[in-house]
Amino acid sequence: MILNLPPELVLITIRHLSIADVKQLAWSNRRIMQIVRRNRPQALNEFWLTSDMSNIFGQYSDKNKFLLDIMFKNGIFSNGFKTIIRNEEDKVRYADVDRKTLSIFRKYCLYLKKQEKSKKGAEPWMNYVSMHQSPDNDVMEEPFLALHLLIPRIDIQNLTIVNCSSDQLGSIIKVLDASCAKIDRSILHCRNAIFSSNGDERMFTNSVFLERSVATFEIATPPFISQILQMPQFRDKNWLLSEATNDQCVSMLSVREAKLIRILSGKLSIREFMAVINA
Q: How far apart are CA 91 and CA 148, in angstroms?
A: 9
Antiparallel, parallel or unpaired: β 65-72 and 77-84: antiparallel
* pLDDT value, residue 279: 60
Rg (CA), the chain: 21
Q: What pLDDT, on a 0 to 100 scale, did the predictor assign at position 28?
A: 81
Which SS3 state, helix, strand or coil, does residue 24 take? Answer: helix
Q: What is the pLDDT of residue 173?
A: 92
Q: How far apart are CA 233 and CA 9, in angstroms?
A: 21
Edge-to-edge order in the sheet of strand 77-84: 145-146, 77-84, 65-72, 49-57, 154-162, 183-190, 214-220, 238-242, 260-263
pLDDT by residue, tens only, the chain of 279 residues: 566 777 777 777 777 776 667 878 888 888 888 887 777 666 676 777 777 788 899 877 788 899 888 876 555 566 678 999 999 999 999 999 999 999 998 888 888 878 777 767 777 888 888 877 665 555 557 889 999 988 888 888 889 999 998 889 999 999 988 876 768 889 999 988 888 877 788 889 889 889 888 999 999 999 899 888 888 888 889 999 998 888 888 888 777 777 788 888 888 777 766 666 666
Backbone dihedral angles phi then psi of residue 225, each to the nearest 5 degrees? -60, -40
Q: How far, in Å, CA of 84 to CA of 21, rounded?
A: 28
Residue 247 has phi, psi (to 5 degrees) of -60, -40
Q: Which pLDDT does position 66 carry in this prediction? A: 92
Q: Is the pTM of this model over 0.85?
A: no
CA 153 to each of CA 50, 146, 184, 198: distance values in angstroms, whole numbers, following the listed order: 9, 12, 14, 32
Residue 89 is predicted with a pLDDT of 93
